[in-house]
Amino acid sequence: MRLTVKKLLLSFLTLLLLTITYLLLQSSFSLDQLRRLYYSFENYDLEKLKSDSLEIRKKLHYTNYIYSGYNNFTSHYNHNLDKIKSIPLNEKCHTFYSQLLESDPQFKFKAFNSVGERLDKSSDRKEMFFKNELNTLKNEHRKGHPDKEFIPTLGMNRTIESKYYANLSKTQRVIQSMADTATIIRVFGKCFLNNDKIDDSLNKLSLEFSKRLFPFITNSIPVFRKAGTTQENGWPVVKNDEIDYKTQNSDESIMFFRDNSKGKGIVISATSRHAKDLQRLIRILRALNNQLPIQIIFKNDINKRNMELLEAAAVADVENVLDQTTSPNEHQNHLPELNLLQEYKNYGSDFPKQDLTFVNIVSCLERGYKYSFPGYSNKVLALLFSSFEEIILLDADTIPLVPPSEFFESNEYQKSGTYFFQDRSLRDNNDFMETNFFSNLFPTNEKSIETLFNIPQVTSKTMNNKYMTGWRHFQEAGVVVFNKKQHFLGLLMMFPLSLWAEPVHSSIWGDKEMYWLGLSMAGDENYEFNSNAAASIGENTILQNRKYYPNSKSNEVCSTHPGHVNSEGKLLWINSGFSYCKKNGYFRDRVKYPFSTFENKELISLFQSPLQIKAALIPPDLPNYREPNSPIDFTTELEIKKSWKSRKKDTDEINNDLKTGEKRKEFIEDYGPQKGWVKNPICFGYMYCAYDNIESYDSNKEFDTGKFYEFNEDERRKFNYLAKIWHTGGSRTLPKKKQ
């Protein structure tokens, strides 16, 4: 008998039909069970979905990125890559931008902020997408059929899969477009920023793409007004030792802000809500004998009263600024024996008046982008629109503890034209889609437009840093020291990061990572970080009945203030002002350990007084969470995360799963800290306790150790003086004028 494919198929279907009929005739086999059998034949099980996710991550991986116009560009030169590399830069620039305009005459920077255009960071996890969609369907099913079990059908799974791949396709398009934008800006830098042989036609292209890539910037110039005067000026352009004030960007190019930036200074982005902290910061700068000019960058959002208070803090006579009658309570409740006016010179302070300028940039932004730079992203605007070339960018609540000029004198700045600072080494991880997304924005691949234009690729300096190996917090941005001319392309790269709401805003905290990211996107790895991660600044807990781990050998510094210690052990600056708790939650926190052991008077005094700086503790660094280069297999990450669960629980975890009747544990006597930074509910959750001796993450070691510094009497005396300067500086009363 000859068996054909048709006969075999017919036999199989007959057998299947007989089997189903038989099962239906059995009383023990229900229709629901038949549906389960039907469903089990479909390949939507968890392992298959995870396997699909692995293949999807392969496709999404940044090593596959090629600029959309790459083949068009190389075909212009018959795909002869060696020949392209030898062709004069100007010719390549003409070809590149002419082709871009030909392929997309309407090209300009795109923000991708409408809901339908946003990148979905869960696109690489098909199993999670299915789980979420099925949960939605399950909840809808329960509303109409509360007593009936929900069983997904083949149709449901097919619909979810179709929806998933449509979502994935959108994500791929957005990543490609964003990566293309980064490539176009890099070529812009090569062709126009770092090219001293620009001809007329190339100059025309430069002006055109300056507008297309940075459409949010107008041709208007910021308005500058010095404290103590009413005269408003334009941008100070120095020629032949004379200053000419420009009121219009006649060049119509973003390069105006690079070419006409001169000198060194302090830059602060602020609004009226920052005024109180700013008053105090200016007093600190005077106490440190700051000689650098200061520019406060704002968008018409500092009112007249606050400007008057800031001006007074900067230029009022020292007798008026330190007058105790303007804030008598603050003078009395902290170091009442220290009379600032009588003793400031004993601390080496001359209290010089400050060269303060208000820089209003409201007219520099196109109307459609008025609200596109909220919060911390204004700091990127401040870097661009400050007239300084060399900038110390400060947050309003930053407290420098050394003269600011020392930042410029540091080895890090002298070497690179930057000085960046590390954040707390918190055990808070990012994910593959985040590091892979940023890798797409870097010049990483050999087969690339960048190679043909001799633009450097990023190296292990970027790809092996803390963020790129899995940790969410790498840079702290309360102080950023930055040479604008030297790193101008890196600054321009920060604008896409500011304007691409997703996935950037959910992948980094405020502006914290934007500075090294922007430079790496530009192919510029000439940046330097302080060698130490952030420290916890305050007092070492000495009393056993106030320690969270009373039997541990580790030092413990609980504080709301991260700070930064250089390689020589010098405390350079702290974050979050000088208040013990900036939210002042004394009444709320009085019942929490260890404050429950305090006398009421002691606790009130603690919250009303500034921070006491006696010690700095830097916890040990964490091992990599993810291997460099965004590996697609999550096995190692999952094993690391699983190992955390096998560790003993810290005080921020031990009470999470209390059973009925179980008593809370406020401290742990049986073992020491497991993490270097342990979150604490005090001060509305802003407090962290830091430890320099924790159970090791390496099975071959017993402990991982950090660094602990105790400050001497002279240092503590200076810190207390600065604390009182800050603490007494928030009065809303203008100082009296000299008679």
* Residue 23: per-residue pLDDT: 52
Q: Kindly report, residue by residue over 670-701, the tens digit of the pLDDT.
A: 999 999 999 999 999 999 999 999 999 998 99
**Which strands make up the sheet holding 418-422, listed edge to edge?**
232-233, 223-226, 356-360, 294-298, 264-269, 390-394, 475-483, 418-422
Domain extent at residue 12? 5-212
* Residue 194: per-residue pLDDT: 87
**Residues near 133 by Cβ (< 8 Å), separated by ≥ 6?**
160, 163, 164
* Residues 225, 203 share a domain: no
* Residues 164, 285 share a domain: no
∠ Cα 721 271 360 (to 5°) = 115
Q: Does residue 564 sit within a domain?
A: yes
For residue 226, the SS3 value is: strand
Q: Position of tokens 């030792």?
A: 241
d(CA 586, CA 603): 7
d(CA 522, CA 503): 19
Q: Which of 188, 186, 172, 182 is nearest to 64 (CA)?
A: 172
Highest mean pLDDT among 122-126, 237-241, 321-325: 122-126
For residue 576, the SS3 value is: coil
Residue 665 predicted with pLDDT over 80: yes
360 strand-pairing partners = 223, 298
Q: Does residue 159 sit within a domain?
A: yes
* Residues 244, 208 share a domain: no
* Residues 242, 366 share a domain: yes
Q: What single DSSP character describes residue 656?
A: T
- The model's confidence at residue 41, banded by pLDDT at 50, 70 and 90, is very low
Rounded alpha-carbon distances, angstroms, from residue 543 to 119, 470, 546, 550, 592: 51, 37, 6, 9, 16
Q: 345, 373, 394 — which closes off a domain?
A: 394
d(CA 387, CA 392): 12
* Residue 424: per-residue pLDDT: 98
Q: 394, 424, 451 — which closes off a domain?
A: 394
- Return the amino acid letter for 215: P
Q: Kindly report, residue by residue over 453-500, the tens digit of the pLDDT.
A: 999 999 999 999 999 999 999 999 999 999 999 999 999 999 999 999
- Return the amino acid letter for 240: N
Q: Which of 632, 421, 454 is nearest to 532 (CA)?
A: 421
Task: Specify burial of residue 639 (Cβ count, 10 A radius: 0-12, 13-18, 19+).
Answer: exposed
* Residue 29: per-residue pLDDT: 45
Average pLDDT, integer, range 145-155 = 88
Burial 230-262 (b: 16+ CB within 10 A, else e): eeebbbbbeeeeeeeeeeebebebbbbbbebbe
Q: Can you give the pTM of this predicted structure? A: 0.92
Q: Kindly report, residue by residue over 217-264, the tens digit of the pLDDT.
A: 999 999 999 999 999 999 998 887 788 888 887 777 899 999 999 999
* Residues 677, 574 share a domain: yes
d(CA 85, CA 89): 9
Q: What single DSSP character describes residue 685?
A: T
* Residues 597, 557 share a domain: yes
> Which tokens belong to 194?
């770092």
- The model's confidence at residue 113, banded by pLDDT at 50, 70 and 90, is confident
Q: Does residue 331 sit within a domain?
A: no
Residue 34 predicted with pLDDT over 60: no
Q: Kindly report, residue by residue over 67-109, the tens digit of the pLDDT.
A: 999 999 999 999 999 999 999 999 999 999 999 999 999 999 9
- The model's confidence at residue 20, banded by pLDDT at 50, 70 and 90, is low
Percent of the chain at pLDDT exceeding 90? 80
Contact at 8 Å (CB) between 536 and 614? no
Q: Which of 399, 405, 407 is nearest to 280 (CA)?
A: 399
Establish how many alpha carbons lie within 13 A of residue 571's alpha carbon, considering only the half-sphere containing its beta carbon. Answer: 29
* Residue 26: per-residue pLDDT: 52
* Residues 227, 195 share a domain: no
Q: 394, 423, 444 — which closes off a domain?
A: 394
For residue 267, the SS3 value is: strand
Q: Does residue 521 sit within a domain?
A: no
Average pLDDT, integer, range 22-39 = 49
Q: What single DSSP character describes residue 537?
A: E
Q: Does residue 490 sit within a domain?
A: no
Residue 584 predicted with pLDDT over 90: no
Query: 154 or 415, which is more confident?
Result: 415
Average pLDDT across the chain, whole number? 92
* Residues 292, 195 share a domain: no
248 strand-pairing partners = 220
* Residues 119, 225 share a domain: no
Residue 39 predicted with pLDDT over 50: no
* Residue 549: per-residue pLDDT: 98
> Which tokens belong to 390?
């060399």
* Residues 130, 61 share a domain: yes
Q: Which of 696, 145, 631 is nearest to 435 (CA)?
A: 631
Q: In Å, how far from its chain's centre is CA 556?
A: 27
Percent of the chain at pLDDT exceeding 70? 94
- The model's confidence at residue 329, banded by pLDDT at 50, 70 and 90, is confident
Q: In Å, how far from its chain's centre is CA 164?
A: 29
Q: Does residue 568 sit within a domain?
A: yes
d(CA 168, CA 701): 44
* Residues 183, 228 share a domain: no
Q: Which of 528, 527, 562 is nearest to 424 (CA)?
A: 562
Number of helices (H), then strands (E), in the chain = 28, 21
Q: Does residue 179 sit within a domain?
A: yes
Q: Which of 737, 722, 606, 719 is nearest to 326 (CA)?
A: 737
* Residue 375: per-residue pLDDT: 86
**Residues near 388 by Cβ (< 8 Å), separated by ≥ 6?**
261, 262, 263, 264, 265, 267, 293, 295, 484
| Domain harbouring 308, CATH code | 3.40.50
Q: Does residue 207 sit within a domain?
A: yes
Asked if omega into 623 is within 30° of 0 (cis), the reply is no
* Residues 145, 291 share a domain: no
Burial 146-155 (b: 16+ CB within 10 A, else e): eeeeeebeee
Number of separate domains in the chain:
3
